A = this chain, B = another copy of it.
């Protein structure tokens, strides 16, 4: 087994999910590479120190440039707000480091494109952390589609509903609330939540040609945690769009943080000629499956409890019937990334693949402004 030294930047929510994955992956997956928690980096030294202690990082850095300069670091794991992805990733690529970057790749396609160039030029393994692909039920959906079981696809629909910003008293910006600050996040639900829906959709259903969107900011002004003043809110609180995929299917997407009663209701459904699929993050261990080829009087939606040994990733965990949770998607993602490093076949989505999601987001936000259908820029390599 080879050690792979990790330098992780950012001590927030995502810093925790990634650290957990690095620590666990070797306990459950037999891999050529074993991540080692070499260094944690955060400009806040106290925070970084506490995080290192909690998670077992060997060292602490307060400057990411210093981290990149270290010879003993193989992989840079970027768990920073969106506005810092580009600069750090490009520098890391130049430093010859492998990179795992939290999603979305950047605040927009313009910012993201040079990141793609940088990693491709450097030839370093790179991955964007769209973790929901690796929920076993979602991976099973991919298998079923790849096996051609659905036939021609007619419809795709996805939504990601939350309700945590309904209060007018919630401030914007700063440590835990950078997702509400347009400068740090780039956009609201579009980059944060719809990006997940779009990534899954591109993976399962292919390219999107055109989109037609509307957005809304329900609370127009909030106190800023940074300036202390009441400021205009720059993000989209809600976004819905119609779109057409290259395969001829029609789709609806919607995301909001104003859907009372839903914490993280990411759902998608695909309707094909022969079969349909539905999945829901709130019950992430189940895949709903309807197969028209079943005998007529016995047709019905099957609730597949995706915990058996022949389900994706599940033979590595416990026994049939016992659920894994949210965090396991990060472990699966890391296992696939490390396998990609060992085999030379990169795990998905690479920076380039994530750029396609970014371009869809760009078209969505543009359409919301122009009130017209907008074409999606293509991210495919020449």
Interface residues of A (CB under 8 A from B): 13, 16-17, 19-20, 23-24, 26-27, 54-56, 140, 143-144, 154-155, 157, 159, 161-164, 166, 212-214, 216, 218, 238, 240-242, 244, 250, 252, 254, 256, 258-265, 271-276, 281-287, 289-292, 294, 296-305, 307-308, 310-311, 317-328, 371-373
Question: What CA separation (Å) do A24 and B283 show in the bound complex?
Answer: 24
A282-B324 in contact (CB<8A): no
Contacts A154-B256, A263-B321, A302-B303 aside, 12 further interface pairs with beta carbons under 8 A come to: A23-B23, A144-B298, A154-B166, A154-B218, A155-B256, A240-B242, A264-B319, A289-B300, A291-B298, A297-B304, A299-B302, A299-B308
Contacts of A16 in B (CB 8 A): 318
B321-A242 in contact (CB<8A): no
A298-B304 in contact (CB<8A): yes
Contacts of A144 in B (CB 8 A): 298
Contacts of A218 in B (CB 8 A): 154
Q: Would you give 25 A-B contacts (Cβ < 8 Å), ordered by A?
A: A16-B318, A19-B27, A23-B24, A140-B297, A144-B298, A154-B260, A155-B258, A155-B259, A166-B273, A212-B212, A212-B371, A240-B252, A256-B271, A259-B271, A260-B292, A261-B301, A262-B276, A263-B308, A263-B319, A263-B320, A287-B300, A294-B302, A297-B311, A298-B304, A322-B326
**Dominant secondary structure of chain A at its interface with chain B:** mixed
- Considering residues A254, A301, A371, which has the most beta carbons from chain B within 10 angstroms of its beta carbon? A301
Top-4 shortest CB links A-B: A263-B321, A264-B321, A261-B290, A300-B302
Contact of A282 among B56, B155, B305 (CB under 8 A): B305
Copies of this polypeptide in the complex: 4
Question: What CA separation (Å) do A265 and B213 show in the bound complex?
Answer: 25
B254-A271 in contact (CB<8A): no
Question: What CA separation (Å) do A308 and B238 show in the bound complex?
Answer: 22
B260-A276 in contact (CB<8A): yes
Question: What CA separation (Å) do A104 and B284 show in the bound complex?
Answer: 31
Contacts of A276 in B (CB 8 A): 259-262
Question: What CA separation (Å) do A272 and B262 show in the bound complex?
Answer: 12
Contacts of A164 in B (CB 8 A): 320
Chain B residue nearest to A311 in the complex (CB):
B297
Chain B residue nearest to A135 in the complex (CB):
B323
A304-B298, A321-B162 in contact; A250/B216 too (CB < 8 A)? yes
Q: Whole-angstrom distance from the CB of A359 to the nearest CB of chain B? A: 20
A259-B154, A308-B263, A323-B325 in contact; A318/B242 too (CB < 8 A)? no
Contacts of A287 in B (CB 8 A): 300
Q: Whole-angstrom distance from the CB of A280 to the nearest CB of chain B? A: 11
B308-A304 in contact (CB<8A): no
A242-B214 in contact (CB<8A): yes
A214-B242, A264-B321 in contact; A157/B254 too (CB < 8 A)? yes
Chain B residue nearest to A371 in the complex (CB):
B373
